[in-house]
Structure 1
Amino acid sequence: MKQTAYIRYSWGVLGYTIAVILWGAYVRATGSGAGCGSHWPLCNGEVIPISPRIETLVEFTHRVSSGLTLVLVVGLVIWAFVAFPGRHPARLGACVSGILVMSEVAVGAGLVYFELVAGNASAARAIAIAVHLVNTFLLLGALTLTAWWASSGVLPVLRNQGRLPWIIGLSLAGVLIVGMSGAVTALGDTLFPASSLAQGVQEDLSPVTHFLVRLRVVHPFLAVLVALGAGAGALFVRDLKPEAATRRLALSLVGLFGIQLAAG
């Protein structure tokens, strides 16, 4: 009974965390990251902002929802040690999730303290955004594995699997790199919006524009390259391991890459 409830809870935490991340993207897109000033964890020096602006409400909501994520993940860790026996993989996933949610909070606080928000167009902000994105991806991965392992209790076997570990590792690394370039590209689009496609292309290719603008041209090529490579890798794994679940997941992954490219 405890394990069944934990499985539901772990998938619920994953879904909630995705919603928080999407709201965080909205914070960046609207330039509301400085809505609480350089104060953290307080908002403009107040526990609850009085007469807040729209930007303050957006940022404050993100902080509150992120704080709840921390509480939920801490609960995930504690409950894993109650619900599962020693050396169960769900415990490992929960502990890694706990570490990553702490680093997620630390990175978010650093963005505020060092004022790497709002209209800041420095290289330091671009690096911080990329690091933030990688940590977020790793957190989502850890939460997903926690829920998956809680549901199945089975660790993947990577030894004596030929090229399989390399395919998976390179695909994951490629996705992280594309995510980093996408985060920096989105930052450039937010800070230096183009009024038309023609103007955007002209600015992307100009040697005198801001580096965040020039980097925008790199992301589409990286995205296509990684999508094709990872998609081919997924099909290779499907043929290597022709079980029904593997085939279903591989085809789903290829479909998701296609949707992602179309959306981009």
Structure 2
Amino acid sequence: MKKDRYFRLLSLAAAAAVLIVVLMGTLVTNTGSAYGCGHNWPLCNGQVIPTAQVHQTWIEFSHRAVSGIASILVVILAIWVWIRLKNVWEARFLAISSVFFIFLQAFLGMGAVVWGQSSVVLALHFGISLLSFSSNLLIAFIVCEETLPRARRIIPPLHNGMTWNFILLGIYTYIVIYSGAFVRHTESSLGCTDFPLCNGHVFPEPLISKAGVQYLHRLLALILLVWVILTLVRCLRNYQNAPSLSTILFVSLILVLLQAVSGIFIIETKMALIFLLLHALFVTGFFGLLTILVMLGLRHYKR
């Protein structure tokens, strides 16, 4: 049906728009553009469309504009999902969460501009952005399942242990991501200026320092990498009849490795912007794939 085609396109457009918002947020942070529009919101330096030629102003203004477009797409999609997929409980739940997270994300961004925020809240802002993207990615996944010709609902034959493994892996990943955002917002990205050592030492000296903050993030990321590898190996051995799981995990592993490589290049290039953006892109994609695994696991658990 033609309407279903538009439905799929809107779901993909909403997910893509939120992804762009996440990346533009990273661009704003790493170009020092957070106050490109001053302490004004929703106006930019008191203007609807800024006239200043400073690039930080246009980066922040563009971020706000894209966020506004993404919010409109998310709301329209949520209403359409509520009407078209009224019998799919996952879709309705995600429709509500997508709207909630996109506006919570906007509120935290506004608060950071108007009132100023601590590094903890700024890190949380990135975490909320990931939840916003993941909600819309899951909606797009469900919409394609429900509307594509010959598509079918995926319910892999998982044991409860693997379902809980996906859930705990997702929670742990969120913690790792939060630690990475905290590294950035405490200006600890170059706390360790080399890799794999930390300023020439196996352990940072002193431990309670910017080097210690980055070292903790490295350690958490290493555990995450090992966890993903072990999960992939287990799926390849025990769930050969569910190739979709191994495929998602294999792509996830690639994204984790790319994220690690981009993190190394952030250090080696003294925080080159391209690697900062790639680092955010890879971790956002990885977390989105993990939420798909969690959803598939919960489907079997609830069946």
State the TM bucket, normalised to the shorter chain.
0.7 to 0.9
Q: CA deviation at 1:175?
A: 1.1
* SS of 2:176 mapped into structure 1: helix
TM-score by length of 1: 0.84
User: Structure 1's 193 and 164: CA in aligned 2 closer, same or farther, altered over 3 A?
Assistant: closer
Aligned length: 254
Match of residue 121 from structure 1: none
In the alignment, structure 1 residue 103 sits paired with structure 2 residue 101: no
Verify the 8 A CA contact 1:36 1:56 in the aligned structure 2.
yes
Q: CA deviation at 1:195?
A: 11
Match of residue 258 from structure 1: 257
What is the CA–CA distance in structure 1 between the aligned matches of 2:83 and 2:106, rounded to whole Å?
A: 25
User: Structure 1's 99 and 110: CA in aligned 2 closer, same or farther, altered over 3 A?
Assistant: same
In the alignment, structure 1 residue 142 sits paired with structure 2 residue 135: yes
What is the CA–CA distance in structure 2 between the aligned matches of 1:259 and 1:38, rounded to whole Å?
A: 36
Verify the 8 A CA contact 2:126 2:181 in the aligned structure 1.
yes
Match of residue 119 from structure 1: none
Verify the 8 A CA contact 2:39 2:113 in the aligned structure 1.
yes
Match of residue 120 from structure 1: none
After alignment, is 155-164 or 93-102 more displaced?
Answer: 155-164
Q: CA deviation at 1:188?
A: 3.9
Q: CA deviation at 1:95?
A: 2.0
User: What's the CA shift string for 1:118-177, capped at 9, x where partnerless?
Assistant: xxxxxx22x112211221121121111101111114777699832012100111012111
Verify the 8 A CA contact 1:231 1:257 in the aligned structure 2.
no
User: Structure 1's 195 and 44: CA in aligned 2 closer, same or farther, altered over 3 A?
Assistant: farther
* SS of 1:234 mapped into structure 2: helix
Match of residue 64 from structure 1: 65
Letter in 2 for 1:170: L
What is the CA–CA distance in structure 2 between the aligned matches of 1:185 and 1:83, rounded to whole Å?
A: 42
User: Structure 1's 57 and 165: CA in aligned 2 closer, same or farther, altered over 3 A?
Assistant: same
Match of residue 248 from structure 1: 247
For structure 1, which runs of at least 5 residues remain unmatched after alignment?
117-123
In the alignment, structure 1 residue 76 sits paired with structure 2 residue 67: no
Match of residue 162 from structure 2: 164
Letter in 1 for 2:17: Y
What is the CA–CA distance in structure 2 between the aligned matches of 1:87 and 1:254, rounded to whole Å?
A: 30
User: Structure 1's 202 and 60: CA in aligned 2 closer, same or farther, altered over 3 A?
Assistant: farther
Verify the 8 A CA contact 1:89 1:150 in the aligned structure 2.
no
* SS of 2:199 mapped into structure 1: helix
User: Structure 1's 180 and 156: CA in aligned 2 closer, same or farther, altered over 3 A?
Assistant: farther
Match of residue 300 from structure 2: none
CA RMSD of aligned residues (A): 2.9
What is the CA–CA distance in structure 1 between the aligned matches of 2:140 and 2:182, rounded to whole Å?
A: 30
After alignment, is 62-71 or 150-159 more displaced?
Answer: 150-159
User: Structure 1's 92 and 252: CA in aligned 2 closer, same or farther, altered over 3 A?
Assistant: same
TM-score by length of 2: 0.74
Higher relative contact order (CA 8 A, sep 6+): 2
Letter in 1 for 2:223: L
What is the CA–CA distance in structure 2 between the aligned matches of 1:232 and 1:208, rounded to whole Å?
A: 30
For structure 2, which runs of at least 5 residues remain unmatched after alignment?
147-151, 264-303
Q: CA deviation at 1:21?
A: 1.3
Match of residue 231 from structure 1: 229
